[in-house]
Amino acid sequence: MRTEQDYQWSAWAVMVCFFLIALISLFISLARVQAQTVDPTKIAWDYPALDHVQLTNYNFGFWLEGATDPVQTVDIPTAQCTPIAGGYETAMPRPVLGRYVARLRACNASTCSDWSNVTDPFLLRPRPPVNLRPRP
């Protein structure tokens, strides 16, 4: 037969479990926030140089998280891509401001590849004004 002390221990154990679950959830949400890049200026990807010369452009897609279609796509001509170790980079296209993930696909004159894997989330904010000065 259970005593009052047994019930107190059971209640305490349940409270500890809920506290641990809440703490783990907090750490996971903090990790997600830290993974978000704010205002990226470049994009980079790995791609074989021999295949790159056969392409006309890359198609860069901005996606809302979990969406099945991109919100906007931007064509990046291969001539705008700078070679880096194992791949290429270029300036980040600027779509409508907001929080996105991105995917990339390679295109030649007749077709495009499947979309790449999805990036970590990133946030595009308005750019700050520049050359602020008082005027008479």
- Please compute the mean of the pLDDT values over residues 41-65 and round it to a whole number: 92
Residue 9 predicted with pLDDT over 60:
yes
Higher pLDDT, residue 27 or 71 = 71
- The DSSP code sequence of 26-45 is HHHHHHHHHH-EES--EEEE
Q: Please tell me the predicted confidence (pLDDT) of residue 37.
A: 81
Joined together, the tokens standing for residue 126 give: 């308005």
Higher pLDDT, residue 32 or 36 = 36
Higher pLDDT, residue 7 or 96 = 96
Give dist(CA 72, CA 67) in Å, integer.
12
CA dihedral for 72, 75, 80, 86, sign (positive or negative): positive
Q: Which of 9-18, 36-45, 46-55, 92-101 is predicted with the least confidence, judged by mean pLDDT? A: 9-18
3-class secondary structure, 47: coil
Q: Please tell me the predicted confidence (pLDDT) of residue 57.
A: 96
Give dist(CA 38, CA 35) in Å, integer.
10
Give dist(CA 123, CA 126) in Å, integer.
10
Q: Please tell me the predicted confidence (pLDDT) of residue 128.
A: 81
At the topology level, CATH places domain 37-124 in Immunoglobulin-like (2.60.40)
Q: Which DSSP state fits 114?
A: -
**β-bridge partners, 124:** 98
Decide if 101 contacts 119 (C-beta within 8 A). yes
Decide if 106 contacts 87 (C-beta within 8 A). no
Q: Please tell me the predicted confidence (pLDDT) of residue 30.
A: 45
pLDDT by residue (tens digit) across 71-128?
999 999 999 999 999 899 999 887 778 899 999 999 999 999 999 999 988 888 887 8
Q: Quick one: 62 exposed, middle or buried, by C-beta within 10 A (0-12, 13-18, 19+)? A: buried
